[in-house]
């Protein structure tokens, strides 16, 4: 089980059974994951330029730098530039490890088989006494696997319930007063995540991660696990109507305005309800399950 590389057995059981909505820390100890991904290995990625430039982000307590800051003339990762940025206090994010490391690809597939959720893994290298990303929230569950050093996670309860793709993502609904208000109130929870621990961070929780008060560099992996939702199931159901020729017919331009459009909306809604009412639920459940364990691009 790939989740067992990130969580102790009780953590795996709790995650699969309850999908907690409150942050918690688990004592992971050392697993095969700690042997596979070490600060030395990640440092080699930086210093060899092997990590694809498209999967690199560089940030220091603010917006990410333009990719030109760490690319060479050919558009590939420039290891000298990337290392220099790290030495100047920038956090390096090496993204989507499941796309470029076979072992991570296998882990990702195994997690999807266990949970029915697609997922991805990023590595974050933060110099001692520095900060990368500032306050924000995400729209999926994250498992934060601390590999080296300590990272402080200041956490605030969600601003919006169950944010998801294109709906209440932090950058879409951001307000300039958020950070001053959070800082004035103080975090609801502060966690100093140590090597050998894993933080379960539910979607929507505001987080401000940093190594500002720590003398050693921080290295952690973030496994983002994209929860399925009833909306996703609805999308799977609606997608099947393409098999009905009535749903593939042309809606004429003149029917896309005014009263004619209202008629089209009503007719389509009734036809969709009728079509869904005639579905073989058991057959559809099998198709939905197949999609859950294979579909990669969906994101909450």
What does residue 6 show for φ and ψ, rounded to 5 degrees?
-110, -20
pLDDT for 217 equals 96
Asked if 90 contacts 65 with a C-beta cutoff of 8 angstroms, the reply is yes
Cβ neighbours of residue 100 closer than 8 Å, sequence gap 6 or more? 51, 52, 55
pLDDT at 299 over 70: no
Tell me which fold the domain 2-227 belongs to: Jelly Rolls (2.60.120)
Q: From its phi and psi, is residue 10 left (phi > 0), alpha (psi between -120 and 50) or beta?
A: alpha
pLDDT of residue 81: 95
Angle between helices 230-239 and 281-292 (to 10 degrees): 110
Query: CA-CA distances (angstroms) from residue 234 to 83, 140, 228, 238, 285?
Result: 46, 19, 11, 6, 12
The Cα angle at residue 97 between residues 50 and 16, in degrees rounded to 5: 170
Largest CA distance in the chain: 68
Q: What is the pLDDT of residues 71-129, one digit of tens each?
A: 999 999 999 999 999 999 999 999 999 999 999 999 999 999 999 999 999 999 999 99
Give residue 33's region: left, alpha or beta (phi > 0; psi -120 to 50): alpha
* Whether the predicted pLDDT of 172 surpasses 70: yes
The confidence band for 296, taking pLDDT boundaries of 50, 70 and 90, is confident
Average of per-residue pLDDT values in the chain: 94
Would the pTM of this model clear 0.85, i.e. be above it? yes
Q: What are the domain boundaries of the chain?
A: 2-227, 231-292
The dihedrals phi and psi of 11, each to the nearest 5 degrees, come to -70, -40
Per-residue pLDDT tens over the stretch 253-272: 999 999 999 999 999 999 99
Residues 206 and 78: their CA atoms lie apart, in Å, by: 33
pLDDT digits (tens, 9 = 90+) for 126-153: 999 999 999 999 999 999 999 999 999 9
């Amino acid at each position: 089980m790939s989740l067992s590389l990130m969580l102790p057995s009780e953590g795996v059981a709790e995650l699969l059974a309850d999908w907690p909505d409150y942050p918690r820390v688990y004592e992971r100890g050392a697993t095969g994951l700690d042997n596979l991904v070490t600060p030395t290995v990640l440092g080699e990625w930086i210093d060899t330029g092997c990590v694809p430039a498209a999967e690199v982000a560089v940030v220091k307590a603010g917006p990410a730098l333009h990719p030109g800051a760490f690319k060479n003339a050919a558009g590939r990762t420039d290891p000298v530039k990337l290392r220099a940025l790290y030495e100047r206090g920038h956090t390096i994010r090496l993204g989507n490890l499941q796309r470029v490391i076979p072992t991570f690809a296998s882990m990702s597939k195994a997690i999807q088989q266990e949970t029915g959720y697609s997922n991805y893994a990023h590595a974050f290298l933060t110099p001692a006494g520095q900060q990368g990303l500032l306050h924000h929230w995400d729209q999926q569950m994250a498992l934060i696997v601390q590999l080296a050093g300590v990272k402080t996670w200041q956490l605030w309860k969600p601003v919006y319930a169950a944010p998801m793709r294109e709906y209440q993502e932090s950058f879409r609904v951001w307000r300039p007063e958020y950070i001053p208000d959070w800082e004035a109130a103080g975090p609801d929870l502060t966690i100093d995540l140590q090597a050998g621990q894993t933080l379960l961070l539910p979607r929507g929780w505001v987080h401000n991660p940093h190594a500002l008060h720590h003398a050693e560099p921080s290295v952690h992996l973030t496994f983002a696990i994209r929860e399925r939702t009833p909306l996703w199931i609805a999308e799977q159901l609606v997608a099947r109507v393409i098999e009905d020729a009535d749903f593939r017919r042309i809606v004429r331009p003149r029917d896309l305005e005014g009263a004619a459009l209202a008629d089209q909306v009503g007719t389509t809604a009734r036809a969709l309800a009728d079509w869904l009412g005639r579905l073989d639920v058991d057959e559809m459940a099998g198709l939905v399950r197949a999609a859950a364990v294979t579909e990669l691009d969906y994101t909450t």
